[in-house]
Structure 1
Amino acid sequence: MELWIPITIFAAFCQNVRSALQKHLKGRLGTTGATFVRFGYGFPFAVLYVAVLHHGFGHDLPALNAGFLLAAIAGGLAQIFATFLLVHLFSFRNFAVGTAYSKTEPVQAALFGLVLLGERVTPAAGLAILTGVVGVVIISMARTPLTLQALGTSLAGRPALIGLASAALFGASAACYRAASLALGGPIFVMQAGFSLAFVTLFQTAVMVIWMAAREPDQLRASLVNWRAAVWVGFAGIAGSIGWFTAMTLQQVAYVRALAQIELVFTFAVSLFVFREATSAREVAGCLLIVASIVLLVLGR
């Protein structure tokens, strides 16, 4: 098995844990505060990870260059805006439709990978990506009417456009992160990925602190007050991000983001077996499509 596959699955699992912790913390913080703790309490762990790689394992720190800085900053900003758009979707009554469109990220990541990095996917991988996206869309709209007419009509709606824009920005950020990591060069991929993550997370933290200090100081204070719970969000988030950055250093973003859809399977399993929540036939069908897409993706590789 190629190394990027278990790394991506690990990252998806950590992201699932982080999302659950972040959702719990949102009861004490607002949307901005809950978003900030992902970066603000995560970057110290990213810096510690790089320090261990450097001082503990003797890996040299990479040298900064213009290509890295441009890609890392662009990716960091794109991820922040994508996250805000995704959170903004929940202010709409029919947010499920927009959320479904936001799950087109793997397709858009493939397009950005082609445009920015010249990376192409095989026909089998392309089919796997589309299959997984269909599965995720079905799960996202499990509680709403799912017809071609409904999807077509909703495409012109504001939530759908916001969802598509969010997916585009997430896809662009993934491609930029891979470009940044590859721009560092060097023989040790873990240091490339770790250094890129530490730089991006520190940059995102600085941007959000400046924004919150000027526009939402109460959220900044609340984030500091709730540090005991927030630190676990940061830890889980960075553990997942280490996986994402490492996997995207090793493999094209289209493949990594397609396999990342397994996170929905984890969510479904927790909902079914831990919380004993009722599930619909549509949700089961969506999960089966995601599993089928993962099998097709791995076999296609």
Structure 2
Amino acid sequence: MAVKVERFDKIFYETPPADLNKIKQKFPYLFPAATPDAVLVEKMTNPLNRELYTEVQKKYANFEKVNDDLDELFRHMKYYFPETKSPKVITLISEMDYQNKAIYADSLVLISLDLYLGKDHKFYEFPDYLRQNFETSQIMPDIVSSFAVGKIPPPTDKTLLSYMIYSGKELYLKDILLPEISDADRVGYTPEQIKWCEENEGEMWSYFIEGKLLYDSDSKLPNRFINVAPFSKFYLEIDNESPGRVGTWVGWQIVRSFMKNNEVSLQDLLRMDAVEIFNKSKYKPKK
């Protein structure tokens, strides 16, 4: 599946302000009707924005590798989800909107290149746990995360197990759609964080079981174990060594174990109930 990439970041910053209307006509969906032209012209000419644009061009003057990765990803998507439309990919500069680094919306993919300049880039005033994923290697996983929202039904209840399995399904989707990348890149961990999870899997599982947390609906649990954070919150000495989102990592291992031990299609897995997946997974943590 050949993917068409439009470098909107280049078009926007290399177009004279007098020709703004031409861009608006070509990309109407990128310009909210309520935004006055004066605001857009200021954005085009603002020195900080121009500097950011220069940095993006330095990093992504050659886009062939990303383009090849996009072709490969969408070939896999089309294979497993035949209804997938051939997408139009648009690169842009989002002014550091780190919660929307890459967006998949039907036949449109938006990639904010200013958030993939490398974790040590001088422009990033973010904590380490966020910056570590501002790498080119995260573009494809971020697209799959956004794609997954439309493919995985949200949890039907608010138990920790439901959130774990939901997140585990998303990561399993990355196993399938991004078979060539590392587990660290799939989950957005460093190799050291993956190693920590593997070495502490049994201890984490005991904590969840002994605390009767799997079927607990305490609203604090997602922030402790599922959501993006500098570390997970067991309220133990290991907290500072742990990566955030360890519940997501454990959920991933449960889903992997389920798929290893059951003959189920990918589509059926994504629709299945968390409790059924857990009960049939035969999951045993590594001690």
| Structure exhibiting the larger radius of gyration computed from Cα positions | 2
More strand by proportion, 1 or 2? Answer: 2
More helix by proportion, 1 or 2? Answer: 1
Q: Which has the higher contact order (CA 8 A, sep 6+)?
A: 1
Asked if TM exceeds 0.5, the reply is no
TM-score by length of 2: 0.25
TM-score by length of 1: 0.24
